[in-house]
Amino acid sequence: MTTCSHCHNDYAQAFVIRTADGAEHAFDSFECAISALAPLCGRCGCQIIGHGIDTDAGIFCCAHCARQSGQPAAVDNTRERS
C-alpha cells in the first residue's frame, strides 16, 4: 500500500507523479493530485486545471483574470471551428 501525499490515505492503487524538479508525490486520486499540485490563479485564486494563461505577471485561470490584472493583450486558448 502507498500513502497519499495529500490526504495520507493508504491505498493499494495509488499513483506517483514526478514534477519538473524531480520530486515524486504519491496520490490516491486525481482530486488529491489537483489539490496538491495545481497552480493558483494570480487574481481569483482558483486552482488551474486547464491550460491557463501564462504571462510575465504570473499565471491566470483565464484571459479575463489576466486582463483584470493588467495584461490587456491576454486571450483564452481557443480556436475557430469550421
pLDDT 10s digits, 15-56: 999 999 999 999 999 999 999 999 999 999 999 998 899 999
- Dihedral of alpha carbons 44, 49, 53, 57, sign: positive
Residue 1, pLDDT score: 82
Residue 80, pLDDT score: 61
Give pTM, 2 decimals: 0.78
Considering only residues 37 and 82, tell me which one the structure prediction assigns the higher pLDDT: 37
- C-alpha–C-alpha distance, residues 36 and 19, integer Å: 12
Residue 14, pLDDT score: 95
CB 4 within 8 A of CB 32: yes
Average pLDDT rounded to a whole number, residues 58-82: 86
